[in-house]
């Protein structure tokens, strides 16, 4: 069975400090990894996918198959980054997605 | 293009009552799903559908029914509401790349 683990429920950082939101997964095949974000009073939306290898709003995430991790990073946190972040996994070729329990990022001014 | 819409936004039920949460999408996506979001538990998949007429159970299907008579609509039915079903419910539809979420329905069961 596939599983996604986000060990931190809450992560508080000061504005301008680096951010790393941790995500580990267990799946033996070829997974597709995603980060979704939910800002206050807004719907969940895709932040980035490992396949696209892009940077969105200054965030990046690298899939490390050896460590089965897909940590989300940003060098300098902004107040508008405060939100709930979910890591998600999809089995290759399937549509069903498994989400982690989420990490609330709080950026302190 | 409205994306994914959900109604109602808020609902209060008494234990034992039934209701249907509506979900519709206008993106012609085959795959649709229902999640519930609870503090500390993230999003848990209730039911999903890979196309009209095809549905399957997710992680937490008990107490919920779904049907998919059209590509656009994927309603979620609570047959006999229980306080444990108090949650925020999200519907999503997806293409091969991305899931698109609705705004959510906040349900309280007293």
Interface contact A86-B97, CB threshold 8 A: no
Listed residue (B40, B34, B109, B36) closest to B79, CA to CA: B109
In chain B, which residues have their Cβ closer than 8 Å to the Cβ of A24? none
Q: What is the pLDDT of residue A33?
A: 92
In chain B, which residues have their Cβ closer than 8 Å to the Cβ of A95? 31, 48, 50, 94, 96
Angle formed at CA B58 by CA B57 and CA B59, multiple of 5 degrees: 130
| Sign of the dihedral defined by the CA atoms of residues A58, A88, A97, B65, in that order | negative
Which residues have a Cβ under 8 Å from the Cβ of B52 and sit 6 or more positions away? B68, B69, B70, B71
| Sign of the dihedral defined by the CA atoms of residues B92, B58, A104, B86, in that order | positive
Provide the 10 A C-beta neighbour count for residue B71.
17
Q: Percentage of chain A with pLDDT > 90?
A: 69
Q: Percentage of chain B with pLDDT > 70?
A: 100
In chain B, which residues have their Cβ closer than 8 Å to the Cβ of A96? 33, 45, 48, 58
Listed residue (A107, A61, A65) closest to A87, CA to CA: A61
Are the beta carbons of A61 and A70 closer than 8 angstroms?
Answer: yes
How far is the alpha carbon of A45 from chain B, nearest alpha carbon, in Å?
7
Are the beta carbons of A24 and A68 closer than 8 angstroms?
Answer: yes
Interface contact B43-A46, CB threshold 8 A: no
pLDDT at A39 over 90: yes
**Average pLDDT of the residues of chain B:** 94
Interface contact A100-B42, CB threshold 8 A: yes
**Six-digit token pair at A74?**
């940003």
Residue A92 binned pLDDT confidence (cut-offs 50, 70, 90):
low
Of A86, A95, A97, the CB nearest to B50: A95
pLDDT at A44 over 70: yes
Q: Would you mind telling me the total number of residues written for chain A in this entry?
A: 109
Interface contact A9-B40, CB threshold 8 A: yes
Chain A interface, Cβ < 8 Å to B:
6, 9, 36, 43-46, 49, 86, 95-102
- Compute the distance between CA of residue B7 and CA of residue A53 in angstroms, rounded to an integer: 35
pLDDT at B33 over 80: yes
Q: What is the pLDDT of residue B51?
A: 92
Across A46-57, average pLDDT: 86
Of B44, B90, B94, the CB nearest to A95: B94
Across A27-50, average pLDDT: 90
Secondary structure of chain B: what % helix, strand, coil (to 5)? 5, 55, 45
**Six-digit token pair at A18?**
């680096």
pLDDT at B96 over 80: no
pLDDT at B14 over 90: yes
Q: What is the pLDDT of residue A93?
A: 66
Listed residue (A93, A109, A108, A86) closest to A23, CA to CA: A86
Rg of chain A over all Cα atoms, to the nearest angstrom = 13
Interface contact B40-A101, CB threshold 8 A: yes
pLDDT at B16 over 80: yes
* Pairing relationship of beta strands B4-7 and A97-99 according to DSSP bridges: unpaired
pLDDT at A28 over 90: no
Residue B12 binned pLDDT confidence (cut-offs 50, 70, 90):
very high
Of A43, A95, A101, the CB nearest to B42: A101
Q: What is the pLDDT of residue B85?
A: 97
Q: Given its phi and psi angles, is residue B40 left (phi above 0), alpha (psi -120 to 50 degrees) or beta?
A: left
Across B39-58, average pLDDT: 92
């Amino acid at each position: 069975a596939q599983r996604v683990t986000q060990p931190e429920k809450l992560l508080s950082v000061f504005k301008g400090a680096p951010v790393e939101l941790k995500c580990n997964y267990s799946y033996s095949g070829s997974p597709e990894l995603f980060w979704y974000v939910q800002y206050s009073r807004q719907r969940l939306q895709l932040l980035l996918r490992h396949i696209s290898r892009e940077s969105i709003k200054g965030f990046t995430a690298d899939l490390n198959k050896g460590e089965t991790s897909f940590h989300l990073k940003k060098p300098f946190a902004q107040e508008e980054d405060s939100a709930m972040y979910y890591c998600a996994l999809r089995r290759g070729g399937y549509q069903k997605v498994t989400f982690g329990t989420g990490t609330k990022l709080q950026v302190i001014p | 293009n409205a994306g994914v819409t959900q109604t109602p936004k808020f609902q209060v039920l008494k234990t034992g009552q039934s209701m249907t949460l509506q979900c519709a999408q206008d993106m012609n996506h085959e795959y649709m799903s229902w999640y519930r979001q609870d503090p500390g538990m993230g999003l848990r998949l209730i039911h999903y559908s890979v196309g009209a007429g095809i549905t399957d159970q997710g992680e937490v299907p008990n107490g919920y029914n779904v049907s998919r008579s059209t590509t656009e609509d994927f309603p979620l039915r609570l047959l006999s509401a229980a306080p444990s079903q108090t949650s925020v419910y999200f519907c999503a539809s997806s293409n091969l790349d991305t899931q698109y979420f609705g705004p959510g329905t906040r349900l309280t069961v007293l």
